[in-house]
A and B are shown apart, each in its own frame.
Chain A
Amino acid sequence: MSIQKRRVDVVVILTICFFFGLMQGIAFCGALDGFAGLEGTIAIAGGTAHIPVMNDAAKNIMTVNPGIRITVEGGGSGVGVQKVGEGLADIGNTGRALSEQEIAKYGLKSFAFALDGVAAAVHPENPVGDLSPQQVRDIFAGSITNWKAVGGKDAPVHLFCRDEASGTREVFWEKLLKKGPVAATANIVASNGAMKVAISQDKNAIGYVGIGHVDQSLKALKLEGIAATQENAMNGSYPVVRKLYMNTKGEPSKLVRTFIDYVMSPECTDIIKKYGYIPLK
């Protein structure tokens, strides 16, 4: 088959699919209009809290415009910074604000699109539901090793922590643990999703996870009576809060800019809320 013929075939198929997609009644968001006629690849890497939102956004965009390819990886906020800084990704997601050195070293621009709290979480059947910040600090430092010391069952505490690149870890460590020591015996898991699975399978587990990831399989601990909900995070009464950022190296390209605008547009607030985060205006 000659090249011209094949190209015509591809165009025909794409056009048919485009109309087919339209006829499926996919929510044709206004912001998705911006993608018409664009094509290319967007490589997204970094924060694991962002992944569900990124996946849904990617799904909507790719269904409407099959000429765009979006790949999503995790790895944690540190990896996001590194990959976007080194040019290995177009968008690096972080679950924490960039540091001065990072901005200076790579020349990054940040776009915050959602608010998320970080909660200490336990198994739903754990009788403990409320702890003071000092008790949390002691548990994570390894000084409290049995649940009965904080009013729970007589059972050992199973600690779960995140890997070094995690923005969730950094926010939790700075704001709740006050940069205190963390026991070396903690099990390490590599993402918010993994933390959720680990805690939901172990009755004596404690770990920390973005509030957006909390559902019936986990119980978020209250901090001295203040519930760990996104509303409390929003109004400031729950202290452990972070924004979710998309970062690019310098000014984003047209395709990437359109993606960022789409995620921050009113049409995407449904997606962001669906996964438990609070969209930022």
Chain B
Amino acid sequence: MKTATDLLLTAYAWFCAIAVFLATSLLLGFLLKRGMGVIHPRLFFGDTPWFPALLGTKPVFEGIWPALVGTLALVLVSSVMAIPLGIASGIYLSEYASARVRSMLGFAVDVLSGTPSIVMGLFGFTMILFLRKTALPQARPSLFLAAGCITLLILPYVIRTTQTALEAIPEHIRLLGPSLGLTHWHHVRHVLLPSASRGILSGAILAIGRASEDTAVIMLTGVVARAGLPASLWDKFEALPFRIYTLAAEHRSVQELDQGFGMALVLLLMTGSLFAVASFLQRSLEKRWKTT
């Protein structure tokens, strides 16, 4: 029997869902509208012809290509550091650690995952101060430092998803290794990891997405407003999210503002597609285990 309260609350629930849907669509629609017209080689390369710009032989001045390359370089370096480290830690925590060790280290990893990104950036900055006072007086904020801090930021994602993926493997698969007489490592490497591969992959992709969008960490550890293509690991660099943030506050003309919208769209496309791939993998993994 439906009372007035029932109807009210139903209306409320519908209202919440619709409101959130509207807010998100408004946001995305606005970005699409303002940014769509700007997606053009000119957005990326400015006045420089696109082929030399791609090769890096001619500098790009009014385009977002350096920022895009900077972000990609950052993501690449931090993924190369974080993903193997994270998978190894996940394997250890799931398969080798005793319950007490797992609890302790798990807590540390949880705290790491909860650390605000600005504190991570602050940490990177203090590392530079520390190094300058002690071992390395030439230490400067650089791509490597920013990548290192991003590694720490995304590490928990990889660790947690590896751990979860390994723990979700059903019992009958787990029995395969020991029943065939494999050593533990062989069991992990040839039986468990392939079974959990999709989950691990999706975790890695989520981590990559997180690395590409973060601004607070890189703001304090080496990103600048204008630096061209990153020449080496020890140089300052540009990045998409930072450029978007700067343009929001201080665009000098309508063209620059439009560039900002174009960049926002590019970044959204990047993270959106990474996310779609990751959740597709995750979904197919779940389906796989559910049917067995």
B251–A193 touching, CB < 8 Å:
yes
A56-78: which residues lie under 8 A (CB-CB) from chain B?
A: 58-59, 62-63, 66, 69-74
- For B156, the chain A residues whose CB sits under 8 A away are none
The answer, yes or no, to whether B231 is at the interface (CB within 8 Å) is yes
Q: How far is the CA of A196 from the CA of B58 in the complex (A)?
A: 32
Main secondary structure of the interface of A (DSSP, over half): helix
B249–A189 touching, CB < 8 Å:
yes
B52–A74 touching, CB < 8 Å:
no
B250–A63 touching, CB < 8 Å:
no
A71–B236 touching, CB < 8 Å:
yes
Q: How far is the CA of A62 from the CA of B59 in the complex (A)?
A: 7
Interface of B with A (CB < 8 Å)? 52, 55, 57-59, 61, 132, 138, 140-141, 224-228, 231, 235-236, 249-252
Residue among A52, A59, A73, A193 making CB contact with B61, cutoff 8 Å: A59
Known: A193-B250, A196-B252. 14 other contacts (CB 8 A): A13-B57, A17-B58, A20-B58, A21-B58, A41-B235, A66-B57, A66-B59, A71-B226, A71-B227, A71-B236, A191-B250, A193-B249, A193-B252, A194-B249
Query: A17-B58, A88-B140 in contact; A72/B249 too (CB < 8 A)?
Result: no
B231–A69 touching, CB < 8 Å:
yes
A55–B250 touching, CB < 8 Å:
no
Jot down 19 A-B pairs with beta carbons below 8 A, ordered by A: A14-B57, A17-B58, A55-B61, A62-B59, A63-B58, A66-B57, A71-B226, A71-B236, A72-B224, A73-B224, A73-B226, A88-B140, A189-B249, A190-B249, A191-B250, A192-B250, A196-B250, A197-B249, A197-B251
- For B224, the chain A residues whose CB sits under 8 A away are 71-73
A31-64: which residues lie under 8 A (CB-CB) from chain B?
A: 41, 43, 51-52, 55, 58-59, 62-63
Q: How far is the CA of A73 from the CA of B138 in the complex (A)?
A: 19
- For A43, the chain B residues whose CB sits under 8 A away are 236
Q: What distance in Å separates the Cβ of A163 from its nearest Cβ neighbour in chain B?
A: 12
Q: How far is the CA of A62 from the CA of B228 in the complex (A)?
A: 10
Q: How far is the CA of A70 from the CA of B52 in the complex (A)?
A: 19
B57–A88 touching, CB < 8 Å:
no
In the complex, which range does the number of interface residues on chain A fall in?
A: 20 to 34
Q: How far is the CA of A41 from the CA of B230 in the complex (A)?
A: 12
A194–B250 touching, CB < 8 Å:
yes
- For B235, the chain A residues whose CB sits under 8 A away are 41, 69, 71
- For B231, the chain A residues whose CB sits under 8 A away are 41, 69
A17–B250 touching, CB < 8 Å:
no
Q: What distance in Å separates the Cβ of A267 from its nearest Cβ neighbour in chain B?
A: 18
Q: What distance in Å separates the Cβ of B222 from its nearest Cβ neighbour in chain A?
A: 10
Q: How far is the CA of A183 from the CA of B225 in the complex (A)?
A: 31
Query: A55-B226, A62-B228 in contact; A191/B57 too (CB < 8 A)?
Result: no
Q: How far is the CA of A197 from the CA of B247 in the complex (A)?
A: 10
B252–A52 touching, CB < 8 Å:
yes
Q: What distance in Å separates the Cβ of B239 from its nearest Cβ neighbour in chain A?
A: 13
Q: How far is the CA of A69 from the CA of B225 in the complex (A)?
A: 14
Q: How far is the CA of A215 from the CA of B202 in the complex (A)?
A: 50
Query: A66-B57, A88-B141 in contact; A191/B249 too (CB < 8 A)?
Result: yes
- For B59, the chain A residues whose CB sits under 8 A away are 59, 62-63, 66
- For B58, the chain A residues whose CB sits under 8 A away are 17, 20-21, 63, 66
A173-224: which residues lie under 8 A (CB-CB) from chain B?
A: 189-194, 196-197
A72–B52 touching, CB < 8 Å:
no
Residue of B nearest to A74 (CB): B225
1/0 per residue, CB under 8 A from B, across A62-99: the answer is: 11001001111110000000000011100000000000
A72–B225 touching, CB < 8 Å:
yes
Q: How far is the CA of A14 from the CA of B236 in the complex (A)?
A: 22
Q: How far is the CA of A20 from the CA of B57 in the complex (A)?
A: 11
Residue of A nearest to B250 (CB): A193
Q: How far is the CA of A94 from the CA of B58 in the complex (A)?
A: 30
- For A63, the chain B residues whose CB sits under 8 A away are 58-59
Residue among A14, A17, A73, A88 making CB contact with B225, cutoff 8 Å: A73
Q: How far is the CA of A169 from the CA of B36 in the complex (A)?
A: 38
- For A86, the chain B residues whose CB sits under 8 A away are 132
- For B226, the chain A residues whose CB sits under 8 A away are 55, 58, 71-73
Q: How far is the CA of A194 from the CA of B256 in the complex (A)?
A: 13
Q: How far is the CA of A55 from the CA of B66 in the complex (A)?
A: 15
- For A14, the chain B residues whose CB sits under 8 A away are 57
A17–B141 touching, CB < 8 Å:
no
- For B228, the chain A residues whose CB sits under 8 A away are 62, 69-71
Q: What distance in Å separates the Cβ of A38 from its nearest Cβ neighbour in chain B?
A: 15
Q: How far is the CA of A58 from the CA of B228 in the complex (A)?
A: 11
- For B57, the chain A residues whose CB sits under 8 A away are 13-14, 17, 66
B250–A197 touching, CB < 8 Å:
yes
- For B61, the chain A residues whose CB sits under 8 A away are 55, 59
Q: How far is the CA of A86 from the CA of B129 in the complex (A)?
A: 10
Q: How far is the CA of A51 from the CA of B235 in the complex (A)?
A: 20
Q: How far is the CA of A194 from the CA of B55 in the complex (A)?
A: 34
Q: How far is the CA of A67 from the CA of B62 in the complex (A)?
A: 19
